[in-house]
Each structure stands twice: as structure tokens, then as C-alpha cells.
Amino acid sequence: MQPAIEVGELRKWYGDIHAVDGVSFSVQPGEFFGILGPNGAGKTTTLEMVEGLREPDSGTVRLFGESPWPRNPKLLPRIGVQLQASAFFERLTAREQLRLFASLYGVPTKQADEWLALVGLEDMAGVRNEKLSGGQQQRLSIACALAHNPDLVFLDEPTSGLDPQARRNLWELLRGINEQGRTVVLTTHYLDEAESLCDRVAIMDHGRILQEGPPAALVRGLDSPTRISVESGLLPLAEAATLAGDVEVDDDGVSLTFATRTPAPVLAALAERDALRGLSVRGATLEDVFLSLTGREYRA
Amino acid sequence: MKGFVSLSRAMALGFFRDRTALFFTILFPLMFLVLFGGLFKSAGVSKTDVLEVGAVPVIDQLPADARAGVDQVLTIKPAGDRDAALAKVRKGDVAAVIEQVNGQVVVHFSAADQVRSGTVTSVVESLVQQANLRAAGVSTPALAMSAQPVEDQSLQPIQYMTPGILGWAIASGATFGAALTLVSWRQKKILRRLRLSPVPLQSVIGARVGVSIVIALVQAVIFVGVALLPYFGLKLSGSWWAGIPVMIAGTLAFLAIGLLAGAAAKTPESASAIANLIVLPMAFLSGAFFPLDSAPGWIRAVSNVLPLKHLVSGMQDVMVRGQGPAAVLPEVGILLGFCIVVTTAATFLFKWDDI
Ligand SMILES: Nc1ncnc2c1ncn2[C@@H]1O[C@H](COP(=O)(O)OP(=O)(O)O)[C@@H](O)[C@H]1O
Ligand SMILES: [Mg+2]
């Protein structure tokens, strides 16, 4: 099958800053692809070159086999883009905004109005965009990007700045969009977002993709220890250290934490001693992947 | 043109919902018109008031066409009381009192106002002469004179100001409209969003041009409508409609200036500062507010290269000076040429992005 996106060795400098430094990836139709990285990693720049908003200094981009640069009118109706900063016309209501974007693609008014319900903004239809909350603006902006039914959707940090509840709601919306068969490319600096939404993530830092794959596979590939914590002081440190062969123990005064690659015997031993108060078991996350890739803590 | 209609609609809605823009494009210039129109209402070349005591056959028995000629210069009203009438002359309320005692026509005037009294005496003198000729049986005098008012230089203030202030209003409306749209659309990423839609750039520009022309015509209707009120007393001359192409060409020229300002500026604030720096001095240098007839030669030379001068004088020619429609052709040509040159400059500075 022809990939929806094929990117080869993209590079972009801003003066001395090497914002994108040899990025390659491809995305299959129907996939939910994420680009994860801290601020300044080069996600937006990469995405804009893929969308055809910026000319790469070098490298190739193909969307459905076509180059998006310079402005390619054949591709434009097939892609939907939500820019990092929402782009709204001034002093128009949510409904007017949506109808306008739809009409630019020749989409009838009625079809545009359906999107208001799909993103849960029916009650806000007559409200000017300046008066919408952050989450409502993001949803409107996504509706505007989707009103013409594109095959391929780009979303640049769609949930940044939203409260946790609004983020969860938006995740549901995005999953739905992908389940309708659309290819979705999303950038995010939230590890949990990438982990929860994406079929595949590319972890990006300093303009390069460090690693790429399904989130679960990346985590598994780490072979990092499982962390088991119980209440501090339940066991003396010396005794705790003998519970399993490879265990590392630490008591920070709040929790007693075991790091081990063989969690089962540790858990069994704790159960035997009735020392499970405040138990939590945590596997590796993308955070650990980032740590092991860059040697530094993940800071969005 | 795909998207043209919906973009025009969006722009027009955005404009008519923007109270500040509405104020500065329509109400603010209108205030100027009302203020100056009221202030200078009586400052023009007004007719000379004359009181008639008793019957004055020389005037009363004039044939209708001759009387109409006299009425263009003098406003003659009958006076009830002779003494009261003479007192008015002394105070300067009227220019003269005329009475006829048997064969003697007497003009009482105040020497304080030589211009007006001169007017009255010379008019009356000519009337007396005509009456003498008729009495002598000369029905066709060897020489005849007819008076024709000339309306080119000595326009009534309202006649002068309506096209002038309207020109300024159109110029600032178009300049600010284009500059602020361009900058705020760029800043709000609307330009990049439009670039990602299949709408051609011509539709985007076409929509802005269309909306600006509509705004200019709305300004014109409101301005001329207010000035035509009896209180202000604007009188449009026959080919006033030829002012419309001038307004459209002027709108295009100032849209181009606005595009240039918008292309050069990064923020809406700097865009409106640049637009102000261009339009406001131009309004004074172009004779939009007051005539430049008595201005130094270099100012008049400068004014000729300013598009506002051509917008204003083009409108004046056909709307109030009574010239034929062809009179606007050179001005329209100059304005369009200006538009092309400035638009070309603006395209070199144009950026889709502010980064
Ligand atoms: N227009 C620009 N001019 C100069 N530097 C830029 C520009 N855009 C981004 N950068 C720089 O390029 C790097 C990557 O930025 P960006 O692609 O926005 O990262 P991200 O979206 O991952 O936060 C950053 O160091 C940023 O400061
Ligand atoms: Mg970004």
C-alpha cells in the first residue's frame, strides 16, 4: 500500500539553530502517529514542512506520493491541519467560523453544522470565538480542520494548555476521528498522551528522531526494572534487600521502593510478611525511555 | 472565484462588528464634516441683503428673467419702516436700503462695508440705466450683458469639504482596512491557514478589495446624504456619478498603501501607526480639509504627487464643480497607476508568516 506520508532526511536551519536535523519516517493510511518531544525539539518545524507550510532546506516529503511544496492544490483538499496557534477569523461566531472554513473547500453548510455537534459545541454555536474557553477553541479548531472530511489530519499539540478533564474529552474525540479511518499525525509534549493515543510514536529531541515504534514496544524494549513501593519503614532495609536476587532498595522516608526485573517473588515475599500497605507497582513508561535515550529527565 | 463570497462575507462581518473600526471609518470623519460644515456655513460668498422702502418701480417692474439675475447677487426684501431700515444699515445688518422718490432712486449704504455697498450701487446703477434706455425707446440696446455665476474657484465651504473629507475618509478606511487585515491575519495565522486551503490567493485579495470598495461606497452614501440635508446645503452637479469610479480607483490606491504598510509592519499597532503617518499628513497636504490655493508653490507641487490630491480633486471636479465625466479620466488613471506601483512594492515585502 502507498504510505500516507513518507519523509526522508528532512533538515531545517534557522540561522545557526539546527531545528530539524535529518528526520525520516513514514506513516501508513489509518495509522495514529505521534511525534513526542520536549519544547523546542523541532516537532512543529517538522510538521510544517510535512504539511507544505515551510520549505525544507533539504530532504523529501511525499503525501500520497505527491510533494506538498510548493503549495500543491491537488493535496490541499485531502489534508486537514490544526495549527499550533488556533487560526480564527475575528469576531465570527463558532458556527460562522466553521461554515466559512467548510465553504473554502466547497462543503455545504449543513455538513459543516454537523461538526458542531460532533465536537460538542452546539450550545456555543452563536458565541464569538474570542469568548470561547481554551478547550472549546481547540475543539472548534479541530472541527474547522476536519469539516471537509480530509483523509490525513495534522494536529500540533492539540491539548496543550487544557485542564485534565478537557484533555481526556479531546482524547476521546481524537480516537473517534482515527477510528473513522483517517490517518492522524499528532505532536505532543505529553508522554501520557502519546502513550494513550498513538499506534506509533517517534521520540524527538534536538531536531532528531531518537527512536520510533509502538509505545508499548518502546517501553518493553527498555528492559528497565519494575518499581514496587510500599509504606516507608514496613521492613528494615537489610531485610528488604534479601527479598529477591536483583533487587535494589531505597527508603526515602515516604516509601520503601524496590526496583527489580523479577517482580513476582518480591510481591510474594511482601505478601507473606503482610507488608503491602500503600502498595503501588509501576512499570517503565515513555519517560524512562526518554531518560535512557538522552541520559536526562524528561522535561516538557 | 472559490471562497471569494464567503471570505468577503467574513471580512464584512468582522468590519461591521468592530465598533472601533466603524467609528474611525464612518462616524469620526462624519463628525469633521458636521463640525466644519456647521462652522463655515455662513463664511462663504453670501448674497448681499438689501431692504426696499416703499415701491421701487425700477426693481419691482423688472421682467422675470432680469429679476432672477438680480436675485443671484442681491436678496431684496421689503422694509416696513424706513427709520428701522436705515438703522439696520448703520449696524451693518443689511448692506443697503433702496427707495424711489419720484424719478430719484436713492441707495442708502454704510461706507464701512465698501465691497457690499459697491455691489449694491453698481447693480442699482445698471438697473436705472436700463430703465432710462427703455424710456428712451431703445428696445434692443447696442450691448447686452448677462451675469453667469462661476463655480470653480469660489466653492461654498460645504461644496469643497464634502468631497475633501469624504476623500480623506475613503483613504483612511482603505489604508487601515488593508493594513490591519494583513497584519492581524498574519499574526493570527489565518493567512497560513488559508494557504493550506484550496482557495487561490486572488480570492483572498479580491475579497479584501471588494469589501473595501463596498465600505467606500457606504461612506460616500452617508457623507453625501448628510451634506445634502438642507442645513448643510450641498448641491451636486450633473455628472456627480462620475465620482464613483474616482472613489473606486482611490480605494484601490489606498488599499495598496495599506498592503505596503501591512507588509512592512509586524504588529497591528505598528501597522496603524504607519498608516496614520501616511494618511494624516497627506490629508493636509492634499487640500482635503481646506483649499491649497493660497499655499506656497512647493506644497502645491508636493500635493500633486499625493494620491489623495487626485482622489479629492477628481471627486470635486464632477461632484461640485460641474465638469463633465471625462474630467475624471486623468485622475482615475493616476490613481490606478499609483495602485500598480505600490502593490508591486508590497508584493516584495509580503510574508505569509511573521516568523
Ligand atoms: N521561525 C523561527 N525562527 C527561528 N528559530 C525558530 C523558529 N521556529 C522555531 N525555531 C527554533 O527551532 C527549534 C525547534 O522549534 P519547534 O519546531 O517549534 O519545536 P517544538 O514544536 O518541538 O517545540 C527551537 O529551538 C526554536 O527556538
Ligand atoms: Mg511546537
Sequence ranges of the domains in chain B: 8-41+156-349, 48-135
Q: Do A147 and A178 have their domain in common?
A: yes
All three cell numbers of A197, joined, read: 493515543
**Looking at ligand 1, which residue's alpha carbon is closest to its atom 12?**
A19
Highest mean pLDDT (candidates A31-35, A173-177, B268-272): A31-35
Give CA–CA dist A261/B318, Å, rounded: 93
Average of per-residue pLDDT values in chain A: 89
Helix (H) or strand (E) holding A229: strand A226-231
Return the higher-pLDDT residue of B295 and B13.
B13
Structural domain for A265, as ranges: 226-283
Of B26, B31, B37, residue with least CA distance to B228: B37
Burial class (CB in 10 A: 0-12, 13-18, 19+), B223: buried
Of B334, B178, B192, residue with least CA distance to B261: B178
Q: Give A76's contacts in chain B (Cβ within 8 Å).
A: 196-198
Task: Establish if A296 belongs to a structural domain.
Answer: no
Of B78, B75, B83, residue with least CA distance to B53: B78
Q: Does position B43 have pLDDT exceeding 60, yes or no?
A: no
pLDDT score, position A24: 96
Q: Do A119 and A233 have their domain in common?
A: no
Domain tally for chain A? Answer: 2
User: What is chain A's alpha carbon radius of gyration, rounded to the nearest angstrom?
Assistant: 23
Q: Does position B45 have pLDDT exceeding 70, yes or no?
A: no
Nearest ligand to the CA atom of A202: 1
pLDDT score, position A237: 83
CA-CA-CA-CA dihedral for A290, A3, A54, B347, to nearest 10: -170
Instruction: Compute how many other C-beta atoms are within 10 angstroms of the C-beta atom of residue B276.
Output: 15
User: Which segment of A264-268, B140-144, B271-275 scores lowest on mean pLDDT?
Assistant: B140-144
Work out the average pLDDT over A233-239.
84
Q: Does position A71 have pLDDT exceeding 60, yes or no?
A: yes
pLDDT score, position B354: 63
pLDDT score, position B144: 60
Q: How confident is the model at residue A183 (pLDDT cuts 50, 70, 90)?
A: very high
Report in angstroms the alpha-carbon separations of B355 from A50, A204, A241, B204, B261: 18, 22, 57, 21, 17
Give CA–CA dist B232/B159, Å, rounded: 9
Q: Mind telling me how many Å the CA of A171 is from chain B's nearest CA?
A: 23
Question: Which residue of chain A comes nearest to B192, CA vs CA?
Answer: A53
- Sequence-ordered list of residues with C-beta below 8 angstroms from that of A186, at least 6 positions apart, any chain: A32, A33, A34, A35, A154, A155, A156, A158, A174, A193, A194, A197, A198
Domain boundary among A168, A190, A214: A214
Contact assessment for residue A47 and residue A154, using Cβ atoms and an 8 Å cutoff: yes
pLDDT score, position B212: 93
- Sequence-ordered list of residues with C-beta below 8 angstroms from that of A38, at least 6 positions apart, any chain: A189, A205, A298, A299, A300
pLDDT score, position B124: 83
DSSP, res A123: G
Domain boundary among A180, A214, A248: A214
Which residues have C-beta under 5 Å from ligand 2, the single-atom ion? A 44
Q: Mind telling me how many Å the CA of A8 is from chain B's nearest CA?
A: 22
Work out the average pLDDT over A212-236.
85
Q: Does position A292 have pLDDT exceeding 70, yes or no?
A: yes
Q: Do A97 and A163 have their domain in common?
A: yes
Q: Does position A158 have pLDDT exceeding 70, yes or no?
A: yes
End-to-end CA distance of chain A: 35
Q: Give B184's contacts in chain A (Cβ within 8 Å).
A: 90
Give CA–CA dist A101/A88, Å, rounded: 10
Instruction: Compute how many other C-beta atoms are within 10 angstroms of the C-beta atom of residue A235.
Output: 21
Q: How confident is the model at residue B139 (pLDDT cuts 50, 70, 90)?
A: low
Q: Is the CB of A43 under 6 A from ligand 1?
A: yes
- Find the chain B residues whose C-beta atoms sit closer than 8 A to any C-beta of A: 2-3, 5-7, 9-10, 13-14, 17-18, 184, 188-190, 192-199, 353
Atom of ligand 1 nearest to the CA of A20: 14
Of B72, B111, B78, residue with least CA distance to B95: B111
pLDDT score, position B151: 43
Q: Give A149's contacts in chain B (Cβ within 8 Å).
A: none
Relative to beta strand B96-101, strand A280-282 is unpaired
Return the higher-pLDDT residue of A24 and B300.
A24
Helix (H) or strand (E) holding A282: strand A280-282
Q: Do A172 and A231 have their domain in common?
A: no
Q: Is the CB of A209 under 6 A from ligand 1?
A: no
Work out the average pLDDT over A284-300.
79
Of B324, B296, B40, B306, residue with least CA distance to B160: B40
- pLDDT, tens digit, 9 for 90 and up, residues A113-145: 998 988 888 899 999 988 998 888 988 998 999
Q: Does position A245 have pLDDT exceeding 50, yes or no?
A: yes
Task: Establish if A98 belongs to a structural domain.
Answer: yes
Q: Do A279 and A210 have their domain in common?
A: no
Q: Is the CB of A89 under 6 A from ligand 1?
A: no
- Sequence-ordered list of residues with C-beta below 8 angstroms from that of A102, at least 6 positions apart, any chain: A108, A109, A111, A112, A115, A147, A148
Contact assessment for residue B177 and residue B258, using Cβ atoms and an 8 Å cutoff: yes
Q: Give B192's contacts in chain A (Cβ within 8 Å).
A: 53, 83, 87
Contact assessment for residue B100 and residue B57, using Cβ atoms and an 8 Å cutoff: yes
All three cell numbers of A120, joined, read: 460538542
Atom of ligand 1 nearest to the CA of A207: 14
Q: Do A83 and B188 count as a contact with CB atoms less than 8 A apart?
A: no
Q: Does position A222 have pLDDT exceeding 80, yes or no?
A: no
Q: Does position B205 have pLDDT exceeding 50, yes or no?
A: yes
Q: Does position B155 have pLDDT exceeding 70, yes or no?
A: no
The pTM score is 0.75
Q: Is the CB of A39 under 6 A from ligand 1?
A: yes
Degrees to nearest 5, angle at CA B93 with B90 and B99: 65
Q: Do A233 and A207 have their domain in common?
A: no
Q: Which CATH superfamily includes the segment(s) B48-135?
A: Periplasmic binding protein-like II (3.40.190.10)
Q: Is the CB of A14 under 6 A from ligand 1?
A: yes
Average of per-residue pLDDT values in chain B: 85
Q: Is the CB of A42 under 6 A from ligand 1?
A: yes
Report in angstroms the alpha-carbon separations of B262 from A12, B97, B175: 28, 64, 9
